[in-house]
Amino acid sequence: MYKLEDYLRLNAEHCPDKIALVCGGETMTYARLWEHVCLHADELISRGLRPGEAKVIRASQDADFLITYFAIHWAGGVAVPLESTTSVERYAELGTWVSQSEIPTGTADILFTTGTTGKSKGVMISHTAIIANAENLIAAQGFSPELTFVISGPLNHIGSLSKVYPVVLTGGTLYITEGMKDVNAFFAAFDYPCTRFATFLVPASLRMLMTLSEERLKQYADVIEFIETGAAPMAQTDMEQLCRLLPHTRLFNTYASTETGIVCTHDFNAGQCVAGCLGRPMKHSRIFITDEGTVACQGKTLMTGYVGEPQLTASILRDNTLYTHDNGRIDEYGQLHLTGRADDVINVGGFKVAPSEVEDAAIALPEVADCVCISVPHPLMGCVLKLLVVLSAGCVLDKKKLARHLRSRLEAYKVPALYEETDRICRTYNGKIDRKSYRI
């Protein structure tokens, strides 16, 4: 069974002088990267790292993290990357948790979820799943040795970490930046001497770029080969705007999660720009819709299970099928369409409302910069919908106008009864609304 590091070794042998990594103004060839990985793997073994043992590390946006990540695998260990800002107490707690848990043979990583709808869970991912994820992305999106992939998101989560996989398999170049706080540093990546770039950006980051740096984004239209987005729903209006700004760029909306791996993808700049459409299953993946209307996934990319949580694992992973909480349908072309999460649905007077549908309709108004639809108690109705709105600069909240706009796009029972301005919407690092923060 090949590991990701076997491909790294082959690249070091066959194209030793090829640039593997650009980070912080420095470059590193495949030969040099592999040399550092081997040295660090030997050091880990000499310090007592045993085969199958979990090693907790902080995921920084630099070469040191990637070297350590690869070295843990090559030494036979299991990498457990945590956010760089993880507290000392939490770091120690998770280290104890994984060390006392049973970890199946063949496990490569344990990635902790953001816990938007509940507590954070440690997802075990095998070496087989990593290679399958890489091959899915290569076949569906066209990774190549000539491509430089810009990573700005944290490397302890599947969204950005999974892009390391196909770059290593194809012998491309990774360009690591420090998030999106410094937009100038992000755009500087596309000035690197290369003619083929790609990147992964969550919808919130894409919206920020289109709002604050539209003209600058357009300047790179001819060199950005593709952009992948995912992790959270992207509004129809944002999708359409991105297509206008980057008419020749492939724009992928991808269905993926830490538990399922990379499953489906769809280029919404290829004639079908439809919110919620996530395309067909990739090479190593299969999907179907359950009797309850939720998405079920099969294939090589699935997680092995939740570390230390056999009952929780069994509740969603049975007979090599992972049962998600995502509501969806498959159209006549075999494409997956998501309609929200089953555990997010709000029951209002017997009617079920997906809050994401309300939010997508509201965000189409230029006055609305961000929003969240929540449920609040009502003395007669039991509960009603309330829309919390972040307004665009210089705008004031016109509740009647907003309600009229929503009534023109939604069924009556989906139109919120209450509206309130707020300074910010609670979101995770990847742009998902942190809905548990709004539950009463």
What secondary structure, in 3-state letters, does 301-345 show? CCCCEECCCHHHHHHHEECCEEEEEEEEEECCCCCEEEEEECCCC
CA distance 260 to 153: 19
CA distance 241 to 251: 12
Residues of the chain with pLDDT under 70: 114-119, 350, 380-381, 429-430, 440
Per-residue pLDDT at 387: 95
Per-residue pLDDT at 304: 97
CA distance 198 to 212: 20
Separation in Å, CA 195 to CA 18, 21, 22, 223, 397: 15, 16, 15, 5, 45
Class of domain 4-340: alpha beta
Token duo for residue 20 = 């593997």
CA distance 175 to 307: 31
- How many Cβ atoms sit within 10 Å of the Cβ of residue 93? 12
Answer whether 253's CB lies under 8 Å from 230's CB.
yes
Please give the full DSSP string across 86-116, using - where no structure is assigned.
Answer: --HHHHHHHHHHHHTS---TTEEEEEE---S
- In this predicted model, what pLDDT tens digit does every residue of 230-248 receive, in sequence order? 877 788 889 999 999 999 9
CA distance 383 to 7: 55
Per-residue pLDDT at 204: 81
Cβ-count burial of 378 within 10 angstroms (0-12 exposed, 13-18 middle, 19+ buried)?
Answer: middle
Per-residue pLDDT at 117: 46
Listed residue (256, 246, 254) closest to 225, CA to CA: 246
Query: Is domain 344-438 given the CATH code 3.30.300.30 in the classification?
Result: yes
Answer whether 362's CB lies under 8 Å from 356's CB.
no
Domain spans, the chain: 4-340, 344-438
Per-residue pLDDT at 85: 85
Cβ-count burial of 353 within 10 angstroms (0-12 exposed, 13-18 middle, 19+ buried)?
Answer: buried
SS3 412: helix
Please state the separation of Cα 264 from the chain's center in Å. Answer: 13
Listed residue (146, 252, 245, 235) closest to 200, CA to CA: 252
Per-residue pLDDT at 116: 46
Instruction: Give, to the nearest 10 degrees, the angle between helix 4-14 and helix 30-46.
Output: 130
- In this predicted model, what pLDDT tens digit does every residue of 276-306 receive, in sequence order? 899 999 999 999 999 999 999 999 999 999 9
Per-residue pLDDT at 383: 84
